[in-house]
């Protein structure tokens, strides 16, 4: 009897030993590393068998164990798979840029891995490492229709990370990405929003060890736009509008790049061009000639009256010429004009005589029909082109599903074939499409100044002071700046500064043109408003800047520099080190908050305004002095104030 018990115990022991060995083998991590500079990415199999990665910078964790993988049809790819390095190569690209600098230069290392699944199938995982960050994407070959059911892609941040996200108390938050920029600790992200745990891109993260990580995506084509769901444990996971139903892709699946932009300081963050650089170069056939893509400022009637008639738009052309603006944006309402196409043609002819280009508005639902390669869209664009208009503003896409992203690209392609520029509204943030389609001259996907006219407005100064380091990092934004007649809690100098701190190749100015041209208190700044560029050769962020509190940004065009300062919070004295200037002397035209002057009474200045308690505003004052790069200037900022300095090279 004792012998039987011993044999039974021995068998049980062997079974337990074999089981333990199997468990240890299943948890064993086979790690491969990628390094560039002081950044290291470790790629391995996590304890649950799923492919995963970690990111370290300066030997400190940026991303802890974060899963990789994609669900296609009924297959979960990246589970218990083998990792094989297929190719490693250097990437270098330079290209012209309409935005924060005149040319982007990107270098990196690309690693291509073969991922072998347990069933013998294979797919590719690509990583890119550069001085600007890390990115990866999945490439899965196939024929016929493949249904993408989601991704395992996740991002686990360190404890005590401060996350900047945009918030809006309605479902418009994820339809238009037009939320107010706020911050919270990473641990709060699953419950911080009344709208749920899903956040739209981008997310700017202030790391506890210092420096910044910004989560984004690049090259969003033939796929659904990624959102991020806070699932707890300091982790965000990829989320898509289609949910469990997934979305269909014909043939090979190539996901957008999932990006983690890295920066030691806000200057590096604001100058990061990785998202645009990961997009394909423009089609050389469609964009043989890009002389028709001309940056410039635009007048816009909406701020002073939403719906327009022909005479008012003709007057707007006259005002555009008087302001030295390149464009006039004809918004919703023109399609109700009598003989609308003849009227628009007549308006465009008149505008051309004045050296002004016309953009016309269109609701996306009226041209979003994929049949016959979007034939209805093509007919509409043909009609626009025949009028002599130079661009279209297409509105209310209201989402980022795969079908909407396909519509967006079709519009950019078809507009480019007709040499028409595009302004997207009611859309998601940029993923760098403007590199592939430089005729995208601006897009919304931003909480802009129009909110000041709405019940949920006005914009907070902190929102403005956050934008250059959040939404604007990945691309231009149609904020529609400059609102003297309804500035909310901000000052007039703060409003002036938005012309520098925010950028858009097609910069649509909100304020009533007649108010700008005829108001005595505006005249000292009128030349600045007329001449401030919409694109720049170089950008420098002053080191005192802090997300949501102070944005101090210098931008150069040719030999002249412009400095814009946005303040959120109490009055502040700012020391400006002018060492970013070139050699020699400059005439500095300085616009600052005039706190000693009587506040401007805003009542009656704009019939469209809903002033609430902000019915007065601090005006600006102008001064001038000679400076050089050895000079330090002192600027006094009012509460929620601002400043602008134009440095003119002598």
Residue closest to 494 by CA, chosen among 443, 449, 556:
449
* CB-based contacts of 489, cutoff 8 Å, min separation 6: 458, 460, 461, 614, 640
- Residues 238, 242, 243, 248, CA torsion sign: negative
List, for residues 491-515, the tens digit of each pLDDT value. 999 999 999 999 999 999 999 999 9
Contact 51, 88 (CB under 8 A): no
Report the distance separating Cα 614 and Cα 595, nearest Å. 16
Report the distance separating Cα 422 and Cα 240, nearest Å. 26
Between vectors from CA 62 to CA 230 and to CA 473, what angle results, nearest 5°?
75
555 membership: H or E segment, kind and range: strand 550-557
Q: Half-sphere exposure of 436 toward its Cβ, with a 13 Å CA cutoff?
A: 17
Fold category of 465-475+487-650 in CATH: TIM Barrel (3.20.20)
Report the distance separating Cα 249 and Cα 401, nearest Å. 12
Place of tokens 């907070």: 460
- The average pLDDT across 638-645 equals 98
Report the distance separating Cα 381 and Cα 376, nearest Å. 9
List, for residues 226-282, the tens digit of each pLDDT value. 999 999 999 999 999 999 999 999 999 999 999 999 999 999 999 999 999 999 999
Q: Indicate the CATH number for domain 27-277.
A: 2.70.98.10
Match domain 283-445 to its CATH number in 3.40.920.10, 3.20.20.70, 3.60.21.10, 3.40.640.10: 3.20.20.70
Report the distance separating Cα 15 and Cα 21, nearest Å. 10
List, for residues 415-458, the tens digit of each pLDDT value. 999 999 999 999 999 999 999 999 999 999 999 999 999 999 99
Place of tokens 């859309």: 427
Report the distance separating Cα 5 and Cα 508, nearest Å. 87
Place of tokens 């992203």: 405
**Which pLDDT band holds residue 307 (cuts at 50, 70, 90)?**
confident
Report the distance separating Cα 199 and Cα 177, nearest Å. 9
How would you write 238-252 as a 3-class SS string? Answer: EEECCHHHCEEEECC
Q: Which residues of the chain form CATH 3.20.20.70?
A: 283-445, 465-475+487-650
- The average pLDDT across 566-576 equals 98
Contact 587, 650 (CB under 8 A): yes
Backbone angles phi, psi at 209, to 5 degrees: -85, 0
Q: What is the pTM of this model?
A: 0.94
Residue 14: count other Cβ atoms within 10 Å of its Cβ: 10
- The average pLDDT across 592-607 equals 96
CA distances, 57 to each of 191, 209, 438 (Å): 29, 10, 33
Contact 325, 509 (CB under 8 A): yes
List, for residues 93-120, the tens digit of each pLDDT value. 999 999 999 999 999 999 999 999 999 9
Would you state the pLDDT for residue 232? Answer: 97
Report the distance separating Cα 382 and Cα 388, nearest Å. 10
- The average pLDDT across 316-343 equals 97
Would you state the pLDDT for residue 300? Answer: 97
Report the distance separating Cα 479 and Cα 441, nearest Å. 13
Q: Which residues of the chain form CATH 2.70.98.10?
A: 27-277
Average pLDDT, the chain: 94
CA 38 to chain centre: 26
Residue 281: count other Cβ atoms within 10 Å of its Cβ: 10
* CB-based contacts of 253, cutoff 8 Å, min separation 6: 70, 72, 138, 139, 140, 142, 146, 148, 223
């Amino acid at each position: 009897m004792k012998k039987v018990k011993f044999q039974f115990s021995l068998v049980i022991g062997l079974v337990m030993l074999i089981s333990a060995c199997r468990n240890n083998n299943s948890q064993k991590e086979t790690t491969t590393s990628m390094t560039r500079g002081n950044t290291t990415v470790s790629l391995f199999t996590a304890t649950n068998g799923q492919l995963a990665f970690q990111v370290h910078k300066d030997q400190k964790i940026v991303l802890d164990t974060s899963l990789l993988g994609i669900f296609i049809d009924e297959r979960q790819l990246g589970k218990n798979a083998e990792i094989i390095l297929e190719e490693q190569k250097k990437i270098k690209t330079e290209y012209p840029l309409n935005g924060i600098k005149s040319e982007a230069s990107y270098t990196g290392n690309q690693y291509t891995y073969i991922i072998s699944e347990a069933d013998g199938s294979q797919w590719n995982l690509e990583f890119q490492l550069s001085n600007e960050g890390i990115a990866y994407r999945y490439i899965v070959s196939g024929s016929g229709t493949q249904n993408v059911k989601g991704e395992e892609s996740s991002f686990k941040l360190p404890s005590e990370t401060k996350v900047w996200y945009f918030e809006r108390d309605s479902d418009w938050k994820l339809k238009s990405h037009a939320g107010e920029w706020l911050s919270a600790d990473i641990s709060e992200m699953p419950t911080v929003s009344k709208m749920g745990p899903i956040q739209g891109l981008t997310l700017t993260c202030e790391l506890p060890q210092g420096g910044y990580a910004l989560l984004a995506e690049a090259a969003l084509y033939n796929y659904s736009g990624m959102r991020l769901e806070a699932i707890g444990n300091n982790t965000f996971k990829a989320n898509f509008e289609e949910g469990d139903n997934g979305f269909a892709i014909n043939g090979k699946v190539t996901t957008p790049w999932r990006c983690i932009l890295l920066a030691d300081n806000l200057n590096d963050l604001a100058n990061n061009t990785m998202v645009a650089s990961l997009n394909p170069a423009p089609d050389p056939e469609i964009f043989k000639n890009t002389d028709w893509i001309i940056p410039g400022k635009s007048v816009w009637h909406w701020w002073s009256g939403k719906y327009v008639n022909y005479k008012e738009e003709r007057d707007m052309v006259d005002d555009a010429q008087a302001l030295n603006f390149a464009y006039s944006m004809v918004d919703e309402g023109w399609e109700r004009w009598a003989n609308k196409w003849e009227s628009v043609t007549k308006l465009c002819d008149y505008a051309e005589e004045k050296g002004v280009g016309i953009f016309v508005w269109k609701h996306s639902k009226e041209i979003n029909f994929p049949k016959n390669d979007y034939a209805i869209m093509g007919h509409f664009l043909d009609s626009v082109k025949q009028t002599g208009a130079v661009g279209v503003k297409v509105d209310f896409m209201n989402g980022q599903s795969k079908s909407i992203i396909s519509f967006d690209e079709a519009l950019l392609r078809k507009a480019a074939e007709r040499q028409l520029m595009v302004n997207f509204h009611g859309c998601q943030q940029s993923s760098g499409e403007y590199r592939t389609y430089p005729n995208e001259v601006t897009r919304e996907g931003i909480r802009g100044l129009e909110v000041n006219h709405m019940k949920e407005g006005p914009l907070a100064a902190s929102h403005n002071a956050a934008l250059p380091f959040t939404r604007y990092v990945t691309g231009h934004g149609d904020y529609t700046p400059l609102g003297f007649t309804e500035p909310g809690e901000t000052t007039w100098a703060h409003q002036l500064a938005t012309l520098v701190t925010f950028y858009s190749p097609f910069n649509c100015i909100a304020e009533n043109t007649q108010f700008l041209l005829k108001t005595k208190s505006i005249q000292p700044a009128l030349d600045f408003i007329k001449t401030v560029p919409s694109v720049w050769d170089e950008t420098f962020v002053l080191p005192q800047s802090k997300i949501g509190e102070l944005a101090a940004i210098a931008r150069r065009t040719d030999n002249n520099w412009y400095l814009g300062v946005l303040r959120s919070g109490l009055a502040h004295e700012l020391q400006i080190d002018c060492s970013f200037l070139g050699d020699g002397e400059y005439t500095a035209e300085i616009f600052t908050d005039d706190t000693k002057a009587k506040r401007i009474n805003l009542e009656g200045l704009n019939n469209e305004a809903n002033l609430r308690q902000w019915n007065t505003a601090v005006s600006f004052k102008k001064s001038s002095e000679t400076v050089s790069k050895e000079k330090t200037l002192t600027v006094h900022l009012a509460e929620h104030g601002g400043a602008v300095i134009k440095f003119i090279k002598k």
